[in-house]
Amino acid sequence: MKWGKFHCNDKDNRLFLCVVAALLLLTFRTFAEDTKYGVVFSPRLQKAYFEIQKLRLPSARQLIDAERGQQSANAFIPYLDNYADLHYLLISEDKAAYKILAQKEDQRLASVDKLPDNSPYKRFFQAEIRMHWAFAKLKYGNELSGSWEIIKAYRLLEENRKTFPDFLPTQKSLGLLHVLIGSIPDNYLWVAKILGLKGSITMGINELRVVAKEEPFFKQEAELIDLLLHAYTLKLSPAQQNRIRQWPKEQPDNLLLHFFATTVLMKEGKSEEASYYLEEAPSGPMYIDFPFLQYLRGEIRLQKGDYEAAYDHYLLFQKHYHGFNYLKDTNLKLFMCRWLDGKDPEANAFIRKIAGNGSTIVEADQFAQRIAEEYLAGKIGRQQKVLYKARYATDGGYLDTAMDLIQSVNEKSFISITEKAEFNYRKGRILQKSRQDEKSLPYYERAIQLSESSAAGFGAASALQLGYIFMEKSEQKKAALYFKKAMSYKKHEYKNSIDNKARAALTQLGQ
């Protein structure tokens, strides 16, 4: 399969169409009784819902608009409008559209509020709309308002569960919130308690899995949330990794699933495999414009050491992308493509752009900002090139290359404490990923020792990995000590993600 083309034999195509048809019939029967609650899950609107999940937003909007003229009072329509807007805003990072679309929240909530009080969809749709806007507001830097949206959504969902205990869709959204609440670091738990927010990771995952098993319409969304939480907060099981690989093959027209498989496999250090799903991803006028795919191509090429090809992909991303995140990061990557390739004068032009472009909302941009400041202050020298090459190769799973690079130097090759800490962390990570856990231990310990006075990020990351190693060895006390150690480091650019992972691991350990 190539971009925008679908290749399969007639038998495979018929089977795929039959499965889709069976799913639509099943979901339609499931919601046939819901017309009495003021919600009509017509086949056209159901298709729009799944089109949104495929990132076929123009197609979804056409279906919604066609239905709007026939049943304008159907509360499922403003819900779908909002669901589509969320996907657009998260992917496009279109600030002008955000300001316009944000004004429609109250109108959509008011439309849903017209549902009768005996409808389980009333509070559910209101909570969903608020959650959509919570994620959008947090993405666009409106953290206070976004946080209040989550609190309001949580209260609506809890009330809905008490009033309609057998209404399973409530558990999809509550499950997500319960996992997020269960991941809150200890020093913020008092805030959750004051606000009456309760939840745990185990509770949330169990709720999501009940929905995935017993609720046909929201099955895919619940399963996707479950996998996302495991990929980015918990840890994926072998069965879940296989599911991530298989899912896009079952739905070759689903751009979101291809993107998800690509990013998760890259995160797992399997960039060569991820590139397959990236190149198989569908495109065309019925899909949202998604320039971030060019960024991912650049990342894989950078990891492989193909600096010229990576450079071209990053430039394409910058040309077509109009968002506000990853601008500093992309300029850093363009710098790296030239600097690591021995073209220092060309590289310097990109490192100087970082300070005046983009935001520092995401960790990648925070890191880029710090590296630019340190490089321009003369704190990063040529001796660090090997560490960056080893880092990118390790991230992509090109471990033989990474090992060759890291073995060409030793701790004495570097001058500063931070460089020495990074060397030890990098070597420990390469050994760990190469299934040599025991050999990695002294390098992680050395990185922690060096980070007591500086290099907090490498100390925190090393402690986190030691926690995972001892967790796998069923040495729970040691694992817990290292997870707590990882959370103890202050003010480093990866603190949020490391703290969340450590907190989640401690929860799994029953602490």
* CATH assignment at residue 454: 1.25.40.10
Cβ count near 8 (within 10 Å)? 12
The answer to the question of residue 260 being in a domain is no
Q: With the C-alpha atoms ordered 245, 251, 252, 254, is the resulting torsion angle positive or negative? A: negative
Answer for the pair 121, 163: CB distance below 8 angstroms, yes or no. no
H or E element at residue 255: helix 255-267
- Rounded CA separation 167/278 (Å): 37
| Structural domains of the chain, count | 2
For residue 147, which phi and psi values (nearest 5 degrees)?
A: -65, -40
Return the pLDDT at 17: 43
Answer for the pair 314, 295: CB distance below 8 angstroms, yes or no. yes
Scored b (16 or more CB within 10 A) or e, 176-210 reads bbbbbbbbbeeeeeeebeeeebebebebbbebbee
Q: Which residues neighbour 275 within 8 Å (Cβ) at sequence distance 6 or greater? A: 262, 297, 300
| Backbone conformation region of residue 4, classed left if phi is above 0, alpha if psi is from -120 to 50, else beta | left
The answer to the question of residue 42 being in a domain is yes
CA 185 vs. chain centroid, Å, equals: 19
Return the pLDDT at 184: 63
- 3-class DSSP assignment, residue 322: coil
- Rounded CA separation 418/424 (Å): 10
| Structural domain range at position 452 | 412-511
The answer to the question of residue 452 being in a domain is yes
CA 476 vs. chain centroid, Å, equals: 28
- Rounded CA separation 244/224 (Å): 9
User: In the listed set 128, 159, 190, which residue is the last one of a domain according to the structure?
Assistant: 159
Q: pLDDT (tens digit, 9 = 90+) per residue, 135-179?
A: 999 889 888 898 899 999 999 999 999 999 999 999 999 999 988
Q: What are 469's two structure tokens?
A: 């190693």
Return the pLDDT at 180: 83
The answer to the question of residue 399 being in a domain is no
The answer to the question of residue 98 being in a domain is yes
The answer to the question of residue 229 being in a domain is no
Which residue numbers in the chain have pLDDT < 70? 1-37, 183-196
- Rounded CA separation 385/390 (Å): 9
Return the pLDDT at 23: 38
Return the pLDDT at 193: 61
Residue count (the chain): 511
Of 454, 457, 427, give the one whose Cα is nearest residue 440: 427
User: In the listed set 159, 187, 222, which residue is the last one of a domain according to the structure?
Assistant: 159
- Rounded CA separation 416/414 (Å): 6
Q: Give 383's DSSP letter.
A: G
The answer to the question of residue 87 being in a domain is yes
The answer to the question of residue 126 being in a domain is yes
User: In the listed set 116, 144, 159, which residue is the last one of a domain according to the structure?
Assistant: 159
Return the pLDDT at 1: 32
Return the pLDDT at 6: 34
Scored b (16 or more CB within 10 A) or e, 216-227 reads bbbbbbbbbbbb
- Rounded CA separation 318/337 (Å): 15
- Rounded CA separation 39/76 (Å): 6
| Backbone conformation region of residue 328, classed left if phi is above 0, alpha if psi is from -120 to 50, else beta | alpha
